[in-house]
Amino acid sequence: MSILETKKLTKRFDGVVAINGLSIGIEAETITGIVGPNGSGKTTLINVLSGMLPFENGSVRVNNAENLRVIRPRNIPLYGITRTFQNIRLFEQMTVLDNIMVVLTKRNVFSALFERHTAYRLKQAEDVLRAVNLWEKRNDLAINLSYGQRKLLEIARALAMQSDIFLLDEPFAGLFPEMVKTVSGIIKDLKDHRKTVVLIEHNMNLIRELCDHVIVMDGGVLLSQGVPERVLAEKKVIEAYLGK
Amino acid sequence: MEYLLHLAILFSIYAILGLSLNLIVGYTGLLSVTHAAFYGIGAYATALLLIKTDIGFLMSGLIGIILAAIIAFLIGMVLSKFDGDYYALGSMGFCIIAFSVFLNWQDLTRGPLGLPGIPKPEIFGIEFSTSALFVILAAVILIAIYFACRCIANSSFGRVLKTIREDEQAIQVFGYSTLYFKLTVFVISAMMAAVAGSLFAAYITYIDPSTFTILESVFVLAIVILGGLANLRGSLLGALLLIMLPEILRFVGFPGEIAGQMRELTYGAMLIALMLWRPQGLIGEYKL
């Protein structure tokens, strides 16, 4: 049963069609890889699904809830979705701890005005920061972290949301091997906790290791999908990556 | 002594303006130049009510604050949809409109002639008619505003304001309606500016539109940037330095009239220097 589904989804940038009538389904409690050459529309798809870009045609269904024709960014936590970004988007001039605390606290203006740190929320923040080995850095500004640590902090921020669906846009990019192990461990852990992960990744070994299902995009359309071993061996998929 | 008390009162008024503007510029990252307008609304409302009615300073000030809040809510509904340069330009437009109203609504404000004879404040039977008494009133209000700002800055609300400054679109993805946060802090800040306006009108006992020009907004902005963005003590430091500056110039030998003019020239030059070498201000936590 799909937890997330697009029907004939189309996104244009002026004259350029970035996603062209894409219909895909993401199974619940699985790890689904989205692969494809640069410019194939992977990140655009994540941006559309998280409401950061409007789409022109088609619809999205999340958690069996609605056939959404408009997605507002502030509503995506209500649909059980959270995300990370291809280009890291932390709250740079805030501490590591505050980057996490802000997603744990109340969304309502007046509740936020009178809310203070509770020990419970601090413990939640500690748990996610320890999961990515950043608890010791909690008082550092995010801008002062290394690239890899910044990637980890972004993942920790997504973890803190405790959502059902995690859209992870190239979480391994630029990480050294030890950090790759940490992140792949986190992703496996999410699946063990019955979460759904959508993973954009160029490293096919990681796709084979982690994913139950893979979707290949090229030129904004669905090129192929299925189990990684079969799909990644298809001639048209190899040609899309390496050229004919 | 009288002169030092006068400076202390001016410091308190400008520190209130600086603290409240820091909530918008320093914490939320929105370059607003509306402050002179709300300062003026507070001043005119208090002055008119004190002159034309006998409801007293507290009630006049309260009405000025409520009026500023209502206007800030209406203006903020529009401004909060913007960010960056558009926000700055929109806020500039409002400040110009407000000045134009102070200047041209002559039946109410007497335009460039101003409003003379504003009574000194009287609260619970105590008339704050001397500088020594007025400085106590101004200091108490400044301390209250400082702690209110500190509560806001240290709350979850304050943390969300900082994320709006850092990356508004990213924080929306985590479920925040940033428009309401921007609108709320704008209204709170405007109310605090109106408090400063009430104090100013009651202290000086004469107001005219020339005090509430966009240049006054830029002066308050200079206080915030000089002292430090997103640091409340920075606003106190900025107010202290910029209020004392013309006096220091006077003491180092500049004639009085030149010292006054040097104030604008110096804080303009200071802003340029800060942007070049210390964009977060003297003790600020955030770089523009």
- Window 121-140 of B, Cβ < 8 Å to A: none
- Would you state the structure tokens that stand for residue B129, as one six-digit string? 């008619």
pTM: 0.92
B152 touching A (Cβ < 8 Å): yes
Whether B159 and A109 lie within 8 Å, measured CB to CB? no
Put simply, whether B172 touches A (Cβ < 8 Å) is yes
% of chain A exceeding 90 in pLDDT: 81
Cβ(A148)–Cβ(A131) below 8 Å: no
Strands A221-226 and A213-218: antiparallel
CA distance A35 to A30: 16
Looking at residue A70, its pLDDT comes to: 86
Provide the pLDDT for residue A167.
Answer: 97
- Contact criterion met (CB < 8 Å) for B172 and A109: no
- Using CB atoms, which residue from B163, B167, B177 is nearest to A74? B177
Q: Is the pLDDT of residue A64 over 70?
A: no
Find, among B234, B204, B65, the residue nearest to B128 by Cα: B204
What distance in Å separates residue B171's CA from the closest CA in chain A?
8
Quote ipTM for the complex. 0.91
Tokens describing residue A39? 């410019």
Whether residue B174 and residue A52 make contact (CB cut-off 8 A), yes or no, is no
> Cα distance from A81 to chain B (closest Cα, Å)?
9
Query: Nearest Cα to A111, choosing from B211, B208, B180, B285?
Result: B180
Q: Of A78, A91, A107, which is closest to B167 when you measure between CB atoms?
A: A91
Interface of A with B in 114-133 (CB under 8 A): 114-116
The predicted structure's pLDDT at residue B209:
97
Output the pLDDT for position A65: 67
Which residues of chain B have a pLDDT value below 70?
254, 256, 259-260, 263
Which helix (H) or strand (E) is B183 found in, with range? helix B178-204
Using CB atoms, pick whichever of A83, A107, A109 lies closest to residue B173: A83
Query: Closest approach of chain B CAs to the CA of A232, in angstroms?
Result: 32
Closest chain A residue to B167, measured at CA: A91
CB B210 within 8 A of CB B115: no
User: Which of B156, B172, B180 to mutate: most A Cβ within 10 Å?
Assistant: B156
Which chain B residues are Cβ-neighbours of A102 within 8 angstroms? 156, 159-160, 163, 171, 174
- Angle among Cα A64, A66, A72 to the nearest 5 degrees reads 120
**Cβ–Cβ under 8 Å, residues A62 and A81:** yes
A82 contact B CB<8A: yes
Q: What is the mean pLDDT of chain A?
A: 92
Closest-CA residue of A relative to B183 is A109
> Which pLDDT tens digit goes with each residue over A71-125?
899 999 999 999 999 999 999 999 999 999 999 988 999 988 888 667 788 999 9
Q: Is any Cβ of chain B less than 8 angstroms from the Cβ of A102?
A: yes
**Closest-CA distance of chain B to residue A15, Å:** 25
CB-based contacts of A242: which residues, under 8 Å, 6+ apart? none
Question: A101–B166: do the CB atoms touch at under 8 Å?
Answer: no
Cβ–Cβ below 8 Å for A89 and B152? no
Chain B residues with CB inside 8 Å of A98's CB? 159, 162
Q: Give residue A3's identity as a one-letter amino acid code.
A: I
At A30-42, the pLDDT tens digits run 999 999 999 999 9
Q: What is the pLDDT of residues B187-203, one digit of tens each?
A: 999 999 999 999 999 99
Average pLDDT, chain B: 92
Of B71, B87, B89, the closest CA to residue B30 belongs to B87
Q: Which residue has the tokens 């921020």?
A: A157
Partner A, chain B 180-209, Cβ-Cβ below 8 Å: 180-181, 184
Which residues in B lie closer than 8 A to residue A92 (C-beta atoms)?
166-167
pLDDT confidence of residue B131: 92
- Listed as own residue / partner, the contacts of A204-209 with beta carbons closer than 8 Å and 24 or more positions apart are A204/A35, A204/A228, A204/A232, A206/A172, A206/A180, A207/A33, A207/A35, A207/A232, A208/A232, A209/A184
Rounded to whole angstroms, the Cα distance separating A163 from A78 reads: 9
Are B174 and A109 inside 8 Å of each other by CB?
A: no
CA dist A131 and B254 (Å) reads: 63
Give the residue among B80, B79, B81, B100 at the shortest CA–CA distance from B36.
Answer: B100
Residue of A nearest to B163 (CA): A91
Q: Which residue of A lies nearest to B280 if distances are taken between CA atoms?
A: A93
